[in-house]
């Protein structure tokens, strides 16, 4: 085919794309009464479902010391976290990641310094990272690429040795584990995304997990324009709030998380089984001590019979 491929805005070769996975979200029957309640109250933000959502996320973490802050997007969450930690210098970030990781650093006024990734897991290389740390380095922003956890323990050790902050872009990480520890419990903070392709879905949104109670309170202020409640803004914040209907979806979506992970795993495995033997194609390696919410091996279930027909 002449010209650019469709992925680069060229002409599509086929009118119908390959079906991957539709968002797995609460049914309208499950939430319609609560939506009606929210609309009738007129309180569309900062009400009881925000607190219920954050409480549900904390309970999910299985960590009594965890603090959870819901925000309007993971990108906003990363930006506010860097800002609340006072990061203004160099931030080491993997060279292979979504643009939001670097965007958040730039929006904070800090400088992204790109670090090579491991060719098998696609995650940031610890050895390459160690070589990039300088006196100007203030933080590491690591990424759990496609839900495969980065080497969190090695990263924590390196950050502690150099007295720098460690933040994780955990956009794809809800439901992933490292050594049976849930992602969300590492570093100074981990930031999840809850957009439609993720395992926990609120439409748009993000969740910040941190054990640092002072940081969590600062983040709640930053998401409210830096306003403590008296309009005498303490910080230069932004509107990072998550609305009540999205929070309601989040509360209900936690109940769907195990099945959503199963569906993602089954879809990934359907493709993996048929692509792994194709010459020239290599697939992301998943270490034995991790579980990826998106990519772990699973059965090929009836949900993916159309995929089986297309890629066979």
146 and 281 in one domain? no
What range defines the domain where residue 111 resides?
A: 28-253
Residues 183, 59: one domain?
yes
- Residue 22 falls within a domain, yes or no? no
| In a domain? residue 2 | no
Same domain, 138 and 158: yes
**Does any domain span residue 213?**
yes
Last residue of a domain, one of 234, 253, 272: 253
**Residue 233: inside a domain, yes or no?**
yes
Q: pTM value? A: 0.91
Question: What pLDDT does residue 311 have?
Answer: 38
- Spatial distance between the Cα atoms of 62 and 181, rounded to a whole number of angstroms: 10
β-bridge partners, 70: 207
Do residues 177 and 304 share a domain?
no
Residues 200 and 269 in one domain: no
C-beta separation of 112 from 87 below 8 A: no
230 and 146 both lie in a single domain: yes
Q: Which residues contact 206 (CB under 8 A, 6 or more apart)?
A: 70, 71, 72, 73, 74, 75, 76, 77, 191, 192, 193, 194, 242
Paired tokens of 53: 């959502």
- In the annotation, is 198 catalytic? yes
Q: Is residue 14 in some structural domain?
A: no
Q: Which helix (H) or strand (E) holds 153?
A: helix 152-162
pLDDT of res. 17: 66
Give dist(CA 275, CA 263) in Å, integer. Answer: 18
Please identify, among 216, 237, 253, the residue that sits at the C-terminal boundary of a domain: 253
225 is a domain residue: yes
E strands, the chain, where?
67-71, 90-94, 111-115, 137-143, 165-169, 177-178, 181-182, 189-193, 206-210, 290-291
Q: What is the CATH number of the domain that holds 149?
A: 3.40.640.10
Q: Are residues 117 and 246 in the same domain?
A: yes
Total domains in the fold of the chain: 2
Residue 19: inside a domain: no
Q: Where are the beta strands (DSSP E) in 130-271?
A: 137-143, 165-169, 177-178, 181-182, 189-193, 206-210
Distance CA 217, CA 196 (A): 28
Q: Are 167 and 78 in contact (CB under 8 A)?
A: yes
Residue 6 placed within a domain: no
**243 & 304 share domain:** no
Q: Do 53 and 200 lie in a common domain?
A: yes
- State how far the Cα of 296 lies from the Cα of 262, in Å rounded to an integer: 9
Say if residue 132 is in the same domain as residue 240.
yes
4, 198, 276, 297: which is the annotated catalytic residue? 198
In terms of Cβ atoms closer than 10 Å to its own Cβ (0-12, 13-18, 19+), residue 96 is middle
Each residue's pLDDT tens digit in the chain (312 positions)?
467 877 787 887 777 766 566 788 999 999 999 999 999 999 999 999 999 999 999 999 999 999 999 999 999 999 999 999 999 999 999 999 999 999 999 999 999 999 999 999 999 999 999 999 999 999 999 999 999 999 999 999 999 999 999 999 999 999 999 999 999 999 999 999 999 989 999 999 999 999 999 999 999 999 999 998 888 888 889 999 999 999 999 999 999 999 999 988 888 888 888 888 899 888 899 999 999 988 875 544 444 444 433 333
One domain for residues 298 and 240: no
Choosing from 253, 284, 301, the residue where a domain stops is 253
* Same-domain status, 270 and 215: no
Nearest of 115, 111, 114 to residue 87 by alpha carbon:
111
């Amino acid at each position: 085919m002449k010209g650019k491929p469709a992925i680069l805005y060229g002409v599509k070769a086929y009118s119908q794309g390959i079906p991957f996975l539709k968002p797995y979200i609460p049914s309208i029957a499950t939430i319609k009464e609560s939506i009606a309640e929210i609309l009738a109250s007129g309180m569309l933000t900062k009400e009881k479902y925000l607190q219920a959502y954050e409480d549900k996320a904390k309970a999910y973490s299985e960590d009594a010391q965890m603090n959870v802050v819901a925000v309007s997007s993971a990108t906003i969450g990363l930006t506010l976290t860097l800002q609340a930690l006072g990061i203004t210098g160099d931030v080491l970030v993997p060279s292979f990641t979504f643009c939001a990781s670097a965007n958040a650093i730039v929006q904070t006024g800090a400088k992204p310094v790109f670090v090579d990734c491991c060719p098998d897991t696609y995650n940031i290389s610890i050895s390459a990272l160690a070589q990039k740390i300088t006196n100007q380095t203030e933080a590491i922003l690591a990424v759990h690429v496609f839900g495969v956890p980065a080497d969190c323990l090695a990263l924590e050790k390196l950050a502690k040795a150099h007295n720098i902050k460690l933040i994780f872009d955990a956009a794809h990480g809800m439901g992933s584990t490292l050594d049976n520890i849930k992602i969300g419990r590492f570093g100074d903070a981990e930031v999840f995304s809850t957009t439609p392709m993720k395992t926990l879905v609120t439409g748009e949104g993000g969740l910040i997990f941190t054990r640092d109670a002072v940081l969590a309170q600062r983040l709640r202020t930053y998401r409210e324009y830096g306003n403590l409640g008296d309009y005498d803004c303490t910080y230069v914040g932004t509107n990072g709030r998550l609305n009540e209907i999205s929070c309601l979806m989040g509360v209900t979506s936690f109940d769907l998380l195990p099945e959503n992970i199963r569906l993602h795993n089954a879809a990934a495995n359907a493709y993996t089984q048929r692509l792994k033997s194709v010459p020239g194609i290599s697939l992301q390696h998943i270490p034995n001590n991790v579980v990826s919410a998106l990519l772990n091996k699973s059965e090929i279930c009836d949900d993916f019979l159309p995929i089986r027909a297309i890629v066979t």
